[in-house]
Amino acid sequence: MLKTVNFDSFDALINDAGKRIKFLAEAAVSSKGIFTMALAGGSTPAALYLWLSCRENWNAPWDKIHFFWGDERLVPLDSELSNYRMVNENLLSKISIPPENTHIPEVSLSPEQAAADYETEIRNFGTVFDLILLGIGPDGHTASLFPDTASLQEKQKLVITVPPPTTAQPAIPRITFTLPLINQAGNIIILATGEEKYQLLNSPDEYPFKMIENAEILFTLKK
């Protein structure tokens, strides 16, 4: 079930998302010593990553937290288009986290090899993420699962390559978590802001983000 929680302001949404992550991470670390989280691209997550990096908000046990990327564009890691670069700029470069805790996709490989290697890394590590963070694109995509594409039919693989999307920018090949991987996560939080996303949330159309089985959508009309 998708449950939408509404906020009056962008700051209230970010603050709540940050506190949810803090709560989930502290609970996971105290019960099993580790918290695994998949990160998303987009401008809303960028603000959340800054919140997480701030010690006044949370003195996090970074050595017990492992980050993966729910999707990544196959561009160099220092590219303006790289989700890794955005996460690094807003979070990783501001905290002290062991390098082995950041599971960065190998973007220099062929798309098929990059996806296969990332799947192997996830299978070796554990396929049930404590938290997967997602966004919603203007075309209703989530992670890099685009509308009316074969990626939505994948039943076996955990990570796949997708060709450059025709419904969203940038038109660059990507790798992405699949629905079977996403839907087994312990928790899924989707961040969405603005009028365009409001229309998607309230439309009867079957957009990719609506194929997520259980998630909380944190939403504000304000950007």
Binding site residues, ligand 6PG, CB under 6 A: 40-44, 135-137, 168, 193
Nearer to ligand 6PG among residue 15 and residue 34 (C-beta): 15
The structure tokens listed for 97 are: 């986290």
CB 201, min distance to ligand 6PG, A: 13
CB of 137 to ligand 6PG, least distance (A): 4
Give min distance, CB of 59 to ligand 6PG, in A: 26
Closest approach of ligand 6PG to the CB of residue 179, in Å: 15
Supply the angle between the helices 83-90 and 43-53 in degrees, to the nearest 10. 30
Residue 81 neighbours by CB under 8 Å, 6+ apart: 73, 75, 170, 172
Which residue, among 181, 188, 183, 185, has the nearest Cα to 217 in the 3D structure? Answer: 188
Task: Tell me the C-alpha distance between 36 and 131, whole Å.
Answer: 7
Min dist CB 87 to ligand 6PG, Å, is 11
What CA–CA distances, in Å, run from 11 to 8, 42, 174, 191, 196? 9, 16, 30, 12, 19
Closer to ligand 6PG by CB, 18 or 135: give it: 135
Are 133 and 40 in contact, with CB atoms under 8 Å apart? yes
Q: Are 179 and 123 in contact (CB under 8 A)?
A: no
Q: How far is the CB of 25 from ligand 6PG (least distance, A)?
A: 21
Q: Give, in order, the Cα–Cα distances in Å from 207 to each of 138, 139, 197, 199, 210.
A: 10, 8, 11, 12, 5
